[in-house]
Amino acid sequence: MHVIKDLLTTFDVHYKRKLGVRYPVNGGKDSKLVKDLLGLYSQVELESFISAYFLMEDPFFRETGYSLGCFRGCLPKVIRHCHETLAKTKAAPVEDVVHWAQRMGYCRHKPTCDVPGGEACVALWRDEKRESA
């Protein structure tokens, strides 16, 4: 149950960062959804997919209000995005990305490793570099 709560908290943190308010968690329904996902993916993978979900500028995600149900329904799209982004960013300078991702609090793993979601940190890092240039 602790892992489920941690993942719901992760979702809430990203939701608040994106929309400025806390996610209206539906305890039983949302907990079951996360529990079912844990049967398919590890906690680290799900945390990475959640990060990527909120980073993707998808009109459908915006229209549905970035709900947990939308996340679950669109997870194959999020996973595909993660793999495509990772393939494009394998050459990112690891030290710069790691320091930036840790400073921003986005991840706790090496961003250019094969853990899904590392690419989300790389993409964020590159976006910030482009904006500051």
Q: What is the pLDDT of residues 60-95, one digit of tens each?
A: 999 999 999 999 999 999 888 877 776 665 555 444
Q: What is the pLDDT of residues 3-43, one digit of tens each?
A: 999 999 999 999 999 999 999 999 899 999 999 999 998 88
Domain ranges in the chain are: 2-132
Give 103: exposed, middle or buried? Use CB within 10 Å, 0-12, 13-18, 19+. exposed
Confirm if 125 and 92 have CB atoms less than 8 A apart: yes
Q: What is the pLDDT of residue 67?
A: 94
Looking at the whole model, is its pTM more than 0.75? no
